């Protein structure tokens, strides 16, 4: 029987088996599961995967969960995470229900269960203490004390998330519960949530100071301050970046307006500066500054005004034709005022001595052209 495979395929299969022989771990890859099953179907035994030293280390020493501050590549923030633990998994537990008023019998039963739960706690029987507190909560779901005490038992068992849940419920029932703030602050500390821990412990000391709360507060304060300062630096950098971007946008807008004005001039919508009467003493920068005036720009966009100015620029004497046009003469006077043409020795015909006519009555008064004290 001839081989159904060509020599090239056989060589590749040999190379693959050599790789598998030298590193049997690859046979445990999901993509090669079919080959592993093929070998085992003939009674073959696949060696268990080897564990690298790096994998072993990561298994025995879990890496702390990075916070938004530690993940910042520009940050040099270093936090002391000694004493932090992995978060616990929350399980369903009695959280009480709606109850408006307790009977005397229910109040007495809840108090008895609370005493029993505290006894278990003092004896170190924390699971029994928690279950007994839960029974008491079922009877009296309105007691903030029961929730805060059960939260304390969870804290003792290194279950910070369960403690936070109970203490948060306690604070919903009684916002002035110093114990709830104290135990919740400690739970946040175990999770490495330093700012929230400092906030709760500070509030606990404010409501009812005790030495343990103060000691825990001093423990979390250095990390909390580092995070706060780091956040403030980032906020400042963000504001500085936004301000730079704003200034860049303003500068680009100015450049765009100047470019548009120059292109408009080149296209003939605005008379060339050198041809306009009295403009010899101005440079392009001065002219562009004048064009930034919204009224001037709006007027020069008017086809009639643009045509009149082209006519005037070709022959300054043509200004005489527009004396009765208030729209054009108003702009002439405005430009004259801005360019101070009289002081430069030039001017539009008729707007300076010797021009031969006066501004029309409809034009706005301009003291640069009239002086009652002249002879």
Question: pLDDT per position in the chain (375 positions), as tens?
Answer: 566 667 777 777 777 777 777 777 777 777 777 777 777 777 677 777 764 433 344 344 444 444 444 444 334 578 888 889 999 999 999 998 887 788 999 999 999 999 999 999 999 999 999 999 999 999 999 999 999 999 999 999 999 999 999 999 999 999 999 999 999 999 999 999 999 999 999 999 999 999 999 999 999 999 999 999 998 988 999 999 999 999 999 999 989 888 887 776 666 554 444 444 444 444 545 556 666 677 777 777 788 888 887 787 777 778 888 888 888 888 778 777 766 544 334 444 444 333 333 444 444 444 433 344 433
| Domain parsing of the chain, residue ranges | 7-51, 104-229, 268-344
Q: Do domains 104-229 and 268-344 have the same CATH topology?
A: no
Query: If you count them, how many residues does the chain have?
Result: 375
Half-sphere exposure of 291 (CA within 13 A, CB side): 26
195 Cα distance to chain centroid: 19
Indicate the burial class of 85 (C-beta count within 10 angstroms; 0-12, 13-18, 19 or more): middle
Q: Which token pair is 102?
A: 């307790």
223 SS3 class: helix
CB 367 within 8 A of CB 360: no
Spatial distance between the Cα atoms of 275 and 278, rounded to a whole number of angstroms: 9
Q: Taking the complete model, does pTM exceed 0.95, yes or no?
A: no
Characterise 80 by phi-psi region: left (phi > 0), alpha (psi -120 to 50), beta (else): beta
CB 275 within 8 A of CB 313: yes
At what angle are helices 211-266 and 194-207 packed, to 10 degrees?
130
SS3 per residue for 132-195: HHHHHHHHCCCCHHHHHHHHHHHHHCCCHHHHHHHHHHHHHHCCCCHHHHHHHHHHHHHCCCHH
Phi and psi, residue 367, nearest 5°? -70, -15
Q: What is the CATH number of domain 104-229?
A: 1.25.40.10
For domain 268-344, the CATH architecture is: Orthogonal Bundle (1.10)
Characterise 205 by phi-psi region: left (phi > 0), alpha (psi -120 to 50), beta (else): alpha
Spatial distance between the Cα atoms of 27 and 24, rounded to a whole number of angstroms: 6
Q: How far apart are the first and last CA of the chain?
A: 131
92 SS3 class: coil
């Amino acid at each position: 029987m001839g081989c159904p495979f060509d020599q090239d395929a056989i060589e590749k299969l040999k190379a693959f088996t050599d790789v598998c022989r030298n590193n049997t771990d690859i046979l445990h890859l999901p993509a090669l599961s079919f080959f592993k099953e093929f070998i085992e179907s003939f009674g073959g035994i696949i060696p268990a995967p080897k564990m690298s030293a790096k994998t072993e280390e990561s298994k025995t020493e879990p890496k702390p969960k990075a916070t938004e501050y530690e993940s910042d590549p520009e940050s040099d923030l270093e936090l002391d995470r000694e004493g932090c633990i992995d978060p616990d998994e929350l399980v369903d537990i009695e959280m009480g229900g709606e109850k408006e008023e307790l009977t005397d019998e229910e109040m007495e039963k809840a108090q008895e269960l609370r005493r029993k739960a505290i006894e278990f706690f003092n004896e170190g029987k924390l699971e029994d203490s928690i279950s007994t507190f839960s029974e008491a909560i079922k009877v009296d779901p309105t007691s903030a004390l029961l929730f805060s005490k059960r939260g304390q038992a969870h804290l003792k068992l290194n279950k910070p998330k369960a403690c936070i849940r109970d203490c948060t419920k306690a604070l919903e029932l009684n916002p002035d519960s110093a114990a709830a703030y104290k135990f919740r602050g400690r739970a946040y500390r175990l999770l490495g949530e330093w700012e929230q821990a400092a906030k709760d412990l500070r509030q606990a000391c404010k409501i009812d100071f005790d030495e343990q709360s103060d000691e825990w507060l001093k423990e979390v304060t250095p990390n909390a301050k580092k995070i706060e300062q780091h956040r403030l630096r980032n906020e400042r950098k963000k504001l500085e970046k936004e301000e730079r971007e704003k200034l860049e946008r303003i500068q680009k807008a100015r450049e765009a307006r100047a470019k548009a004005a120059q292109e408009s001039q080149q296209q003939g919508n605005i008379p060339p500066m050198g041809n306009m009467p009295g403009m010899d003493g101005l440079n392009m920068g001065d002219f562009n500054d004048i064009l930034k005036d919204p009224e001037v720009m709006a007027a020069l966009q008017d086809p009639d005004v643009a045509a009149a100015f082209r006519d005037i620029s070709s022959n300054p004497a043509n200004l005489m034709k527009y004396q009765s046009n208030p729209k054009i003469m108003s702009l002439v006077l405005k430009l004259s005022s801005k360019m101070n043409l009289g002081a430069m020795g030039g001017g539009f015909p008729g707007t300076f001595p010797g021009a031969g006519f006066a501004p029309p009555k409809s034009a706005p008064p301009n003291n640069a052209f009239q002086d009652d004290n002249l002879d």
